[in-house]
Amino acid sequence: MREIMYRDALREALDEEMARSSDVFIIGEGIAERGGSYKVTEGLLAKYGPGRVRDTPIAEAGMIGVGVGAAIAGARPVVEILYIDFAMLGMDMIVNQAAKFRLMTGGSGRVPFVMRTQGGTGGGVAAQHSQSLEALFYHIPGLKVVMPSVPADAKGLLKYALRQDDPVMFLEHKHLYMTKGLVPDGEHIVEFGKADIKRPGKDVTLIAWSNMIPRTLEAADELAKSGIEAEVIDPRTLVPLDKEAILKSVAKTNRAVIVQEAVRRGGVASDIASIIQEEAFYDLDAPIEIVAGLNIPIPFNLELEKASVPQKDDIVAAALRSLHAKPLALAAE
């Protein structure tokens, strides 16, 4: 085990997979010589050459489409989109092309396409550079949606993404690139669809992903001060979703709080809540709590930005509400 940064973990994944297969290549804006705005691709140009590490003009629809076409034709492209906000320009290619090809060809066509991008708030980059748009991709059948929260997952999931055959929206977080964590030495792969218990507990289940994981862990620390043992579950991949792990935890704690940075309306948290209520209703001792972003674009002002997305105290408060709720059977009396 070594302690490395999230961005270094991503680079290791790319490096190892590029070394392993000459079909893997990267295109994006400023990713070659400059190494990308978040320094994920630094050094790869020198190692793999301009054929496999290519800068593109600012033309997101074109470059996403070209990546999808290359994947259909049998290569393994990684398209880096600087901000998830800019992926909106390529939605046709993602939604109508990448996601559909497998079914439309009766299963004979596959699209081993990886779009790496980052989202989320932080640092006052305002409304067009701060969105959490995972629900858009989550909604589209045919796409995998990956949201690593720690370096080990970032590495293991990206390596897995590059070896499987469906289009993957690999969603990083701008605030996580410089965070550190332990990453196993040698080959390290994390399969899709396997949630990770980031902190075990028995009193309440906190479900979160991406940058909400560190914040939720802080909230769990806070709760621990009052003797409350929160279990923190990170699905790591939203599609496929490890619902068994979630249901198992809820069966143990009887309480669920779902935390997402994205706006509340039409979000992934709502869908997870619906799964829990449908499949674990009788395990619940309290209503499911959702802690989510406000239904607004992200403001520039730092204090307002902070007020737009869940903070530690919001998560603690939701957990306490859940714990203090009367069991449903009693409440009815």
Partner 1 sequence: MDAQPVKSNAPSRELLEKIFRTAYKIRVFETEGIKLYRQGLVRGYFHPYLGQEGIATGVCAALREGDFIASTHRGHGHCIAWGADIRRMVAELLQKESGYCKGYGGSMHIADITKGNLGANGIVGAGTPLGVGAALANQIKGSDAVTVTFTTDGGSNNGTFLESLNLAAIWNLNFILVIENNGYAVSTRIEESTRDTDLYKRGLAIGVESHQVDGNDPLAVYRLTEEAAATCRAGKGPVLIEAKTYRHMGHHVNDPGKYMPEDRLAYYKARDPVDRARDALVQMSGIDAGEITAIEAEIQGEFEEAVDFAKSSRELTVAEFHEFVAQY
Tell me which residues touch partner 1 (CB under 8 A): 22-23, 25, 51-52, 54, 56-57, 59, 61-75, 77, 92-93, 96-97, 101, 103-109, 141-142
Residue 31 or 257: which CB sits closer to partner 1? Answer: 31
Quote the tokens at residue 241: 């979703």
301-306 LR contacts (CB < 8 Å, sep 24+): 301/124, 302/124, 305/121, 305/122, 305/124, 305/130
H or E, element range at 249: helix 243-253
Residue 204 or 239: which CB sits closer to partner 1? Answer: 239
In Å, the largest CA–CA distance within the chain is 71
Residue 165 or 221: which CB sits closer to partner 1? Answer: 165
Grouping H, G, I as helix, E, B as strand and the rest as coil, residue 250 is: helix
- Catalytic option among 129, 173, 175, 188: 129
Q: How far is the CB of 115 from partner 1 (least distance, A)?
A: 13
Pair 37, 83: CB distance under 8 Å: no
Q: How far is the CB of 134 from partner 1 (least distance, A)?
A: 18
User: What are the φ and ψ backbone dihedral angles of 287, each rounded to 5 degrees?
Assistant: -60, 150
Q: How far is the CB of 272 from partner 1 (least distance, A)?
A: 18
Please choose, from the candidates 243, 162, 256, 170, the residue with its C-alpha nearest in 3D space to the C-alpha of residue 216: 256
Residue 168 or 176: which CB sits closer to partner 1? Answer: 168
Please choose, from the candidates 94, 108, 106, 173, the residue with its C-alpha nearest in 3D space to the C-alpha of residue 140: 94
Q: How far is the CB of 51 from partner 1 (least distance, A)?
A: 6
Q: How far is the CB of 259 from partner 1 (least distance, A)?
A: 27
Pair 319, 204: CB distance under 8 Å: yes
Pairwise CA distance, residues 276 & 270, whole Å = 10
Residue 73 or 330: which CB sits closer to partner 1? Answer: 73
Q: Report the amino acid identity of residue 179.
A: T
β-pair type (230-234, 196-199): antiparallel
Active site residue 139: no
Torsion over CA of 4, 10, 12 and 13, rounded to 10 degrees? 140
Q: How far is the CB of 229 from partner 1 (least distance, A)?
A: 36
Residue 23 or 229: which CB sits closer to partner 1? Answer: 23
Residue 83 or 101: which CB sits closer to partner 1? Answer: 101
Judged on CB neighbours under 10 Å (0-12, 13-18, 19+), 248 is middle
Torsion over CA of 152, 154, 156 and 160, rounded to 10 degrees? 170
Q: How far is the CB of 306 from partner 1 (least distance, A)?
A: 36
Pairwise CA distance, residues 333 & 331, whole Å = 5
Q: Please identify every residue annotated as catalytic.
A: 129
